[in-house]
Every structure is written in structure tokens, then in C-alpha cells.
Amino acid sequence: MDSLASKAKSISERSKEVRIDPSGIELFCRSFDPSKMKHWLSQSPFSIKNLQREEKIAYLSVFNSISFCYWGEPKWTIQYKGKSYDGSWAMHASIGKAIESGKPILNPEYLSDIPKKDLQDILSGNTDIPLFDERLNNIREIGSVIIKKYAGRFINLIEESRNDAKILFKILIEQFPSFKDIGYYDNEPIGFYKRAQLLVSDISQDEKLRNIRTLTACADYKLPQVLRRYGILRYSPNLAEVIDNKIEIPHGDSREIEIRANTLHAIELIKEKIGASSSEINDYVWLEGQIKLPTDKPYHRTRTTAY
């Protein structure tokens, strides 16, 4: 979204704790490998390829309503088909297992009043997942809104949007309160809408929405970690100490806003140089982050439903 990109640029130019290093941008662009460009879901442990059209939209809506804030000690992990997964992959594995076991987790009626025990069973891992109650509220909201405003059909989201990414994004942030993701910097609002943008991008893989290039990257905690790896994001000594010692940064703190805004602006600067869309670069960087390096610094810790 153009206004988000411009606001992110403005915050980047005023940031006190975070800066973008142009030499890091150059390094990334020189090492960029177009052959590795793929949608992030192509690497998911559960494939949605065999789902019907509406089931795919329902699946992606459910996933993006409850995909946030996986960090903790110990980290929440899921066993699926003989392998251990954490983070977003663990959430995909959990939803996939639920579908394979016959749970109606793509049915709006079921979602709107899903028993707490059912969701606990679906997300059962080595430890309790953080922010469980918030996930329960969000998944119920998805079902309720689809029933009340879209005649119980996820496909009607696409019909109402007329296959336009900008309209679908607007529907999500206006009709589903749980997708709200607004921060403030110098008393000025900036709407990041990470999960709403990711849902639009994910849906567009099959639906081929118009205006998809209007999306920005998704400001989470993995992208800035990878951008720091490349020397693109530079932190002040004080902020680096906080992040490297895994000290929590409160949601809405100016440091968190600076990290997220500079992440978005850095992706926009990369986009200008290599010509790929923000969503494509987002997925490329995120998948790079799934390759763990011994030299990696920690990601910033913020307890939030935004990402």
C-alpha cells in the first residue's frame, strides 16, 4: 500500500535506533538469486494443493488469523510425519493434521464456536503455545464474520473484492477487527497490517488478484533478522544489546516501530533495484531466514498478535 510505504520511509529517515546501510542493500542485490524465488508456502510441511478452491481460501484465512508470536522458552514445536516443526511451519502442520483427522476446521459454523478444548488439541505440542486465548478469539471471529457478513462462504470474500488485492485488503482490515495492526511514531499512526497483507498475498497465489504489487513486505520478526544478517539493518549499540540478550521490547515501543518501518523501507529499496514485487522479495527473505546460520543474531522479541 502506497501510504504505508511512504510512512515507512518517513519513519526510516527519522529513526534514532535503526538505520539502513546502503552497502548492505548492494550486497543483497548482488547476491540475489532469481532461481530461488518461490512463494513461501511452497516449502510448507502441509500442502494445500489438493484442497478445493474455497477450502484453500478458508485454510489461508484460518492460518493467518492465528499465525503470530511463536517465540518462548522452550519454543513451541509440533511433531508431524516424523519431523519436528516450530513457528509458522508448526502452525501449518497443526492445521494440516486437523484436516487429515477429519476436524471441520475450515467450516465457518465450527470455527465461530470452536470449543477451547478442540483448539488446545489442535495446537498441542511440547509446550503451551503463547497467546492461546487471543488465537481462540481470532479463529472464532473469522467464522462469525464469514457467517454474518458473507453468507457462510469464504469464497464470497473474493467475489466482493472483485479479484482486486486492494479491495480484499480493505475488506480484511475493516470487517475483521483481529487484523488490526497500527503503531504510532511521533504520535503519527502507521498501519502495518502484517497478517492482512500476507493473507492477500497468499490468496493471490491461486486467485491471481489484480493490484497485487501494491502490497508491501510483511513487518514481522524474521525479516529484520535476515536483513541484519546482510548488514542492511544496523542497530544502535543499546538496541543491539537488548535484542542480542533477548530482552523483550514492548509492543508499540518506538524501537519496535523503527525496526518494522525500516524493514519495509529496506524491502522497497531492494524492489527498486531488482524489479521484483515486495511480496516476492518478502518471501525470498523469509525463506532465507529458515536457513539457520551459526552467525545469526537473535530476532527482536515483542509479545503481540500482530506478527
Active centre residues (catalytic): 220
Sign of the dihedral through C-alpha 69, 74, 78, 84: positive
- The secondary structure element, H or E, covering residue 86 is strand 83-86
* Total residue count of the chain as it appears in this document: 307
- The three-class DSSP label of residue 228 is helix
Q: What is the CA radius of gyration of the chain?
A: 19
Picking from 208, 172, 204, the residue whose alpha carbon sits closest to that of residue 191 is 172
Task: Give the chain's count of helices (H) and strands (E).
Answer: 14, 6
Q: All 3 cell numbers of residue 57?
A: 481460501
Q: Give the integer Cα–Cα distance in Å for 148 and 126.
A: 36
How far CA 58 is from CA of 30, 33, 61, in Å, comes to 39, 33, 5
Q: Give the integer Cα–Cα distance in Å for 122 and 33.
A: 37
Q: What are phi and psi of 189, to 5 degrees?
A: -75, 145
Residue 230 makes CB contacts below 8 A (sequence gap 6+) with 24, 27, 28
Distance of CA 113 to the CA centre of its chain: 25
